[in-house]
Amino acid sequence: MTRIAAAILFAATVASAQAETLRPTVLVSSDIVRIGDLVADAASDKADIAVFRAPDLGQTGSVRVAAVIEALRRHDVEVETRGLSQVSVTRASRVVGSDEIKRRIAEIAAERLRVADAASITVTLDAPAPMLHLDPAETGPLMPLRMRFEPRGGRFDLLLRSAGAQVRITGTAQETQDAVVMVRTMSRGDVVGDRDVAIERRAKSELPADAVRDVSAAIGMAVQQPLRPGQAIRSTDLARPQLVKRGEPVVLVYEVPGITLTARGKAEETGSLGDTVNVLNVQSKRVIQAVVSGPGQVTVTSLTPRLIGVAESRTARHAAAHTALTKAE
């Protein structure tokens, strides 16, 4: 290798060592792009020099590498492009979406309605809220610049603002509560199952004072009047199902330890589970009190059989229980 060729190679090597690397993608947090954003390991005395305007908040733009090189050379910065044709620049932003906007509206409405818990405010927008891009340093809530609010119906017309954006939102904001509603039509006497009801949020002003709010309070209860789908259930719409009806036959059950006896009876009263009703013992023709223990079944409670000793035989215990049930004493 000649001395001239060696010198050229040495010069190229030195230049390559001095050249910095150009980044293919850049993320900036301000409205300008600096040398330190574009060049990896840029010299500290040049890193803060501004060279381009950044895109709008949340937006991405592309810059031709030739334009980048020209801008950097003005400040005596050489870079290795490594075959790049353009540099992608993205402006960082804090994204405020529909959910955050609705939460903020709920907070403002709660203040107007003097409601302690903003989570109880349901916000419905007339149109989808636009996505806002704010400066990452702006961490505070959106502030109401102007608001018209009707407490009775919950209608609002609100202008929200931040340091870099503002948006007008219209809709309704109402205090709501959980309510148990019907899923299907039910008739009087039908027993509510777990698939017949659901929980929905309803405006507090539209719910009766005795609205049922817990599904468990409705399941297993009997409907007292016809109910339609979507109807909020009141406590007076439900009652415990009648397992024993007046004038209908029932099974009298008498239990002592180790023995269960049954007899035929006739209900003198209508009753639900756990109710005490009068029942005619068909065999003894006596009216006794019994507790409703199941569909068409009552358990005798007015009998007080004597204590049975351990030494007594099963036959003796059975006879004593049978005698007590027959006499209904």
| Residue 41, pLDDT score | 87
CATH of 179-241, one of 3.40.50.920, 3.40.50.720, 3.90.550.10, 3.90.1210.10: 3.90.1210.10
Domain 243-327 has CATH 3.40.190.80: no
Q: Provide the b/e sequence for 268-295 (b: ≥16 CB within 10 Å).
A: beebeeebebbbbbeeeeeebbbbbbee
Residues of the chain with pLDDT under 70: 1-19, 301-329
For tokens 């900036």, name the residue.
Answer: 28
What is the dihedral angle through the alpha carbons of 273, 278, 281, 287, rounded to the nearest 10 degrees?
160
Number of H helices, E strands in the chain: 5, 24
Cα(288)–Cα(305) distance, integer angstroms: 15
- Evaluate if pTM is beyond 0.75: no
Tens of pLDDT along 36-82? 999 988 888 999 999 999 999 999 999 999 999 999 999 999 999 88
CATH of 3-92, one of 3.40.50, 1.10.10, 2.60.480, 1.20.120: 2.60.480
> How far does the chain reach from its first CA to its final CA, in angstroms?
129
Residue of 318, 275, 281, 325 lying closest to 304 (CA atoms): 325
Rounded alpha-carbon distances, angstroms, from residue 131 to 27, 58, 272: 20, 10, 57
Describe the chain by its helix, strand, coil percentages, rounded to 5: 20, 40, 40
| Residue 306, pLDDT score | 42
Tens of pLDDT along 190-218? 999 999 999 999 999 899 999 999 999 99
State which H helix or E strand residue 302 sits in: none
Cα(222)–Cα(328) distance, integer angstroms: 32
Residue of 269, 266, 222 lying closest to 246 (CA atoms): 269
Q: Residue ranges per domain, the chain?
A: 3-92, 96-176, 179-241, 243-327
In this structure, are residues 56 and 90 in contact, taking their beta carbons and an 8 Å threshold?
no
